[in-house]
Amino acid sequence: MLIFLLATGLTLTLGLMNVANLAHGSFYMLGGYIGFSVALYTGNFFLGLLASIFSIWIGGMLMYRGLLQQRFAKEELAQMLLCFGVILIVSDLCLWLWGGYPKFVVKPMLFKGSIHLGSIVLPFYRLVVIIVGAIIAVFLWWFQGKTKYGAIIRAGVDDEEMARGIGINIILVRLLVFSLGTALAACAGFLGGPILGLYPGIDVEVLLMAIVVVVIGGVGSLSGALVGAIFIGLINSFGRSLFPEFAMFTIFAPMAIVLAIRPSGLFGEA
């Protein structure tokens, strides 16, 4: 579910805006670290969550406004290089401020312990993360597919000039979508903090996960991201326990197969 949260943000910006935000992993990391510090300082888990989401939301807007929206960033090549510049800056900043040792966000007292469902033992916190992920998934699906704002966003994707012609502020819409994507990454970073931890280099690992999920699921498709995330999550954990020597192949192989059969992903439009 964590992987889903992570991948939705990327698939949103990629599918709805045609911008591959390669700094997605960096926002995950930065959001996680900011939340970690706030939670540690105030002792409140939820304040940490809010801080991480809001700061990265603003950070995403700044990045979009300051770099990606500029005239020189019209081409993909330029966008990718800009994103990579941001990756380097953020990773170095995090290493500088938070050091090289792994940090784990402290779980709130409320969600400690585990639940026994018959013979299965579930850590309560993981269950909460799954539920939060499900809520966000449903919300995004509803927002994108059923509301007026979702319609505006989709209109902007399909025909930017037409949407602009009927009076939609497309620049604002794109800004909001982009920052929503980064905020989702931060949310995943903070919620994943107690489970995966935060350490230098996680930005690229997370980026890999998100990209693979998006590739398998199909770009711009929420259901694709969901299926892809579950698929990769299962394969990854099974692969790691069954063939620890070849854990990466277990990600690589399905991706290669999906690409060979359906280049646009399982749920992507051709």
C-beta of 41 vs 249, nearer to another protein? 249
Rounded distance, CA 13 to CA 10, Å? 5
- Identify the residue whose tokens are 């997370």: 206
Does 260 contact another protein by CB under 8 A?
yes
Q: Considering the complex, what minimum distance in angstroms separates the CB of residue 184 from another protein?
A: 18
Residue 248 and residue 19: Cα distance in Å, rounded?
27
Q: How many residues bind another protein (CB under 8 A)?
A: 46
Give the CB-side neighbour count of residue 46, counting CA atoms within 13 A. 3
Judged by CB under 8 A, does residue 93 bind another protein? Answer: yes
Assess 229 for contact with another protein (CB under 8 A): no
Q: Is 266 in the site for another protein (CB under 8 A)?
A: no
Our separate counts of H helices and E strands in the chain read 11, 2
> Does 85 contact another protein by CB under 8 A?
yes
φ, ψ for residue 166, nearest 5 deg: -95, 20
* Phi/psi at 147 (5° precision): -100, 170
**Minimum CB distance to another protein, residue 220 (Å):** 11
**What's the chain's Rg over C-alpha atoms?**
19
166 binds another protein per the rule CB under 8 A: no
Query: Does the footprint of another protein cover residue 100 (CB under 8 A)?
Result: no
User: Under the criterion CB under 8 A, does residue 6 sit at the interface with another protein?
Assistant: no
- For residues 14 and 163, which CB has a smaller minimum distance to another protein in the complex? 14
Residue 104 has phi, psi (to 5 degrees) of -115, 130
SS3 22: coil
Contacts with another protein by CB under 8 A lie at 14, 18, 20, 22, 67, 70, 72-73, 76-78, 80-82, 84-89, 91-93, 96, 204, 207-208, 211-212, 214-215, 219, 244-249, 251-252, 255-256, 259-260, 263-264
